[in-house]
Amino acid sequence: MPPISAKEPARDTRAINAPVVPRAPAMRQLALDIGLHPVPTLDNFFAGPNTEALEHLRRWVGNSHRSPVPTYLWGDEASGKTHLLKAVRVAIQEQMGSPVGVGWLDADMVDFPIYDERWRVVLLDDTHLYTPEQQQTAFNWFINAQTYHCWVLASGRFPPADLKVREDLRTRLGWGHIFQLKVLSEAERRTVLRQEAAARGIVLGDEVMAFMLNRFSRDLGSLSQFLDHLDGYSLVEKRAITIPLIKSMLSTT
């Protein structure tokens, strides 16, 4: 007796021949990634009340005989800590013409490179969020940086004395130059947002500016990402950036 086989079901040719309807929201979501992302630099950092810290970093980056004394930046969210660390990374990489001159560690990383003797700076971002493994890596980098006269620039939400990290790391974070970064005022944030828009070739009206500052995250990094999405969406829709366009984008993505 031949093996029993299941009868092949009849094909529904209607499904095969039916026209494919594009999913507009998904298409728009893909298009939101086409906005330009200005690179964080020391030049495009709006210092406001943080001029002293900015000038300190400028002097260090511009000095070929750099002091190995570490620097620690602390302040609330949206005060510019990560921008400044990334700006220093960009400056050193441009000087060297290579990315190998910088050691970078932030709280989102799970794989940590071993210390590299070619590093000219160790950058430790958001140290207040470090896991025990990240703290161990940061401490190891600190010890090696002191041995090889490499600068350490770190940041955190709190002053070193208030950091909930291992004592040997906390002590090292606090023995050098310490600067508190302050969040920009409403008028200063408006100026920065206008600069960010101009860097993307976007013109924001006063009403749109006020709407964005009042309705969305006051973190300038988040607003910058929002501008990227808004820029891409306006290009897809072929419409000027207005409050109705922003509401339309939010309702379709």
Same domain? 166 vs 71:
yes
What is residue 12's predicted lDDT score, i.e. its pLDDT? 44
Cα separation of the two ends of the chain: 59
Q: Is the dihedral of CA 128, 129, 131, 134 positive or negative?
A: negative
Pair 210, 125 in one domain: no
Domain end position, chosen among 180, 210, 243: 180
Element (H, E) at 206: helix 206-215
Query: Got the DSSP string for 55-104?
Result: HHHHHHHT-SS-----EEEE-STTSSHHHHHHHHHHHHHHHHTSGGGEEE
pLDDT of residue 29: 35
* 210 compared with 33, residue with greater pLDDT: 210
Say if residue 146's pLDDT is above 60.
yes
| CB contact at 8 A, 28 and 253 | yes
List, for residues 184-242, the tens digit of each pLDDT value.
Answer: 888 888 888 888 899 888 889 999 999 988 887 666 767 777 888 899 999 999 999 99
201 and 214 co-located in one domain? yes
| Among candidate residues 180, 211, 230, the one where a domain is terminated | 180
Domain identity same for 156 and 229: no
Domain boundary pick from 161, 180, 199: 180
Question: Can you give the pLDDT at residue 38?
Answer: 67
φ, ψ (nearest 5 deg) of residue 155: -140, 160
* Residue 28 belongs to some domain of the structure: no
Q: What is the mean pLDDT of the chain?
A: 84
In-domain check, residue 142: yes
pLDDT at site 218: 64
CATH code of 72's domain = 3.40.50.300
Expressed as residue numbers, the domain containing 113 is: 48-180
Mean pLDDT in residue range 52-61: 96
Q: How is residue 39 written in tokens? A: 């690179």
Q: What is the pLDDT of residues 57-112, one digit of tens each?
A: 999 999 867 778 999 999 998 899 999 999 999 999 999 998 889 999 999 999 99
Least Cα distance to 253 among 11, 27, 10 occurs for 27
DSSP state of 161: G
Whether pLDDT at 247 is above 50: yes
pLDDT above 60 (res 246): yes
Task: Kindly state whether residues 143 and 244 are assigned to the same domain.
Answer: no
Q: How many structural domains does the chain have?
A: 2
Give the pLDDT score at 68: 84
Entry pTM: 0.74
The answer, yes or no, to whether residue 8 has pLDDT greater than 50, is no
Residue 37: predicted pLDDT: 56
